[in-house]
Amino acid sequence: MSIYISPSIMCCQFEDYSDYISSFENKRVKNIHFDVMDGHYVKNIMLGTNTYKELKSKTNLPIDLHFMCNNPEDFIEYFSPQNGDWVCFHPETTNHPHRLLQKIKSLGCRAGYAINPGTPLSYIEEVLDELDYILIMAVNPGFAGQTMVDSHLDKLKRIKEMVNSADRNIDLVIDGNTTIENAKKMVNAGATGLVVGTSSLLKSVEVFNEEYENYLEAISNLKESQ
């Protein structure tokens, strides 16, 4: 399975969106990662519905909406994700996570769970038949620039084993501190997708274009050596 890159729009300056999006499309990234934070579940607030609509008006690339919110069903309704988008939430933030996964899929979106370093994996076991992807946090959510939690790779391996036992094609996407060095370890442990941000690529459009090639080359070389 090829490894894909999901650049985080949170790490881009709003006035540069058009340049970034053009670059993302030229590089054929799989989707654009979009963090929604409510200031309660995490102590930060971003990104809003207007920003989402602006992105959708500029590109046909799918948007990967990551809801770091209490009662995510309310926020998902506000955003009205479009057919083909990816939508994930933290299962502990809602009373009916299984039903919410079904709701997301009914919109024509790919449905996923976001799993923190301290989230029990039992949440995943009960809904493997509904999951299209799992966003696995390598850091505690809320802020960019953190370092990878030590136990992350072991947790990723255990999730990979669960997915393999279910015999389903579920993407395992890693979010947080996905430097080239860490990304190699993450791919070895089972990652199929990597969210990238300020710590690895998105400091400027020029840096993205240059470093993106280095990043992909490093991952490609890793796969060839296995």
The residues annotated as belonging to the active site are 35, 175
Question: Cα–Cα distance between 220 and 225 in angstroms, integer?
Answer: 9
203, with CB counted inside 10 A (0-12, 13-18, 19+), is middle
In angstroms, what CA-CA distances link 103 with 80, 127, 130, 186?
Answer: 11, 13, 11, 30
Please provide residue 81's backbone torsions phi and psi, each rounded to the nearest 5 degrees. -55, 145
Q: Is residue 81 a contact partner of residue 106, using CB atoms and an 8 Å limit? A: no
Structure token pair of residue 60: 């046909």
Question: Does residue 8 sit in helix, strand or coil?
Answer: strand
Looking at beta carbons, which pairs linking 69-72 to residues 24 or more positions away fall under 8 Å? Answer: 69/36, 69/37, 69/38, 69/40, 69/41, 69/93, 70/38, 70/40, 70/41, 72/100
Torsion angle in degrees (nearest 10) through CA of 122, 140, 143, 212: -80
Question: Cα–Cα distance between 222 and 60 in angstroms, integer?
Answer: 30
